[in-house]
A and B are shown apart, each in its own frame.
Chain A
Amino acid sequence: MAQIKVEALDKSFGAFHAVKSASFTVEDGQFLCLLGPSGCGKTTTLRMIAGLELPTSGTIRLDGEDVTMKRASARDIAFVFQLFALYPHMNVRRNIGFPLKCEGISAAERDRRVVEAARILRISHLLDRSVSGLAGGDRQRVALGRAIVRKPKCFLMDEPLGALDTEMREAMIHELRALHDRLGATTVYVTHDQLEAMAMADRIAVMNNGVVEQVASPRDIYDRPASLFVADFIGSPPMNFLPFRGGLQTGAEAIRLGERDVAIPAACEAMAESDLVLGVRPEHVRFTDRGMVRGEVYGTEYLGTTQIVTVTTHYGALKARSPSSRSFRTGETVGLDFRPDTLSIFDKASGRAIRTALHEGGAHG
Chain B
Amino acid sequence: MISATTAHSVVEPSITTRRFAGSLVVLYAVITMIPLVWIVLTAFKSPDDAISYPPKVMFKPSLEGFCNLFTTRSRQTPEFIRSLGPPQGLCDSIARSRNMVVAGPSNYVPRFINSLIIAFGSTVLAVALGTLSAYGFSRFRVPLKDDLLFFILSTRMMPPIAVAIPIYLMYRTIGLSDTRLGMILLYTSVNVSLAVWLLKGFIDEIPREYEEAAMIDGYTRFQAFVKVVLPQATTGIAATAIFCLIFAWNEYAFAVLLTSGNAQTAPPFIPIIIGEGGQDWPAVAAGTTLFLVPIVVFTVLLRKHLLRGITFGAVRK
Chain A residues in contact with chain B, CB under 8 A? 50-52, 71-73, 75, 77-79, 81, 83, 85, 87-89, 98-99, 102-103, 146, 150
Contacts and interface: CB of A to CB of B under 8 A. Distances in A.
A356 B233 CA distance: 60
Which 4 residue pairs spanning A and B have beta carbons closest together?
A: A99-B217, A85-B209, A89-B231, A85-B213
Given A77-B216, A102-B217, A103-B218, 13 more contacts: A50-B216, A52-B212, A73-B216, A73-B217, A78-B216, A79-B213, A81-B209, A83-B207, A83-B209, A85-B209, A87-B232, A88-B317, A99-B218
B212 A72 contact: yes
Given A83-B207, A85-B210, A72 B215 contact: yes
8 contacts: A52-B216, A73-B217, A81-B209, A85-B207, A87-B231, A99-B218, A103-B218, A150-B217
A79 B216 contact: yes
A102 B212 CA distance: 15
Contacts of A103: 218
Interface residues of B, number: 17
Contacts of B228: 87
Contact of A146 (B209, B213, B219, B231): B213
Contacts of B231: 87, 89
B219 A73 contact: yes
Contacts of B223: 102
B220 interface: yes
Contacts of B317: 88
Contacts of B209: 81, 83, 85
B236 to A, nearest CB: 14
A81 B220 CA distance: 19
B214 interface: yes
A98 B217 contact: yes
Contact of B210 (A77, A78, A87): A87
Nearest to B219: A102
A89 B213 contact: no
A143 B228 CA distance: 15
A139 B217 CA distance: 18
A73 B207 contact: no
A98 B212 contact: no
A83 B209 CA distance: 8
A361 B50 CA distance: 105
Nearest to A132: B317
A163 to B, nearest CB: 12
Interface string B214-250: 1111111001000010011000000000000000000
Chain A CB within 10 Å — which of B209, B218, B231 has the most?
A: B218
B217 A81 contact: no
A85 B217 contact: no
Tell which of B213, B215, B216, B219 has the most Cβ of chain A within 10 Å. B216
B212 A73 contact: no
A289 to B, nearest CB: 56
Nearest to A150: B217
A73 B317 CA distance: 28
A189 to B, nearest CB: 16
A146 B217 contact: yes
A102 B215 CA distance: 10
A88 B227 CA distance: 12
B235 to A, nearest CB: 11
Contacts of B207: 83, 85
A60 to B, nearest CB: 14
Contacts of A85: 207, 209-210, 212-213
Interface string B239-278: 0000000000000000000000000000000000000000
Contacts of A102: 217-219, 223
B219 A51 contact: no
Contacts of A72: 212, 215-216
A89 B234 CA distance: 11
Contacts of B218: 73, 99, 102-103
A19 to B, nearest CB: 18
Contacts of A75: 216
A50 B216 CA distance: 7
Contact of B212 (A79, A87, A99): A79
Contacts of B220: 73
A81 B214 CA distance: 12
Interface hub of A50, A83, A99 (most chain B Cβ within 10 A): A99
Nearest to B210: A85
Contacts of B215: 52, 71-73
A50 B217 CA distance: 11
B212 A89 contact: no
Contacts of A83: 207, 209
Contacts of B219: 73, 102
A97 to B, nearest CB: 10
B258 to A, nearest CB: 41
Given A83-B207, A85-B209, A88-B317, A51 B216 contact: yes
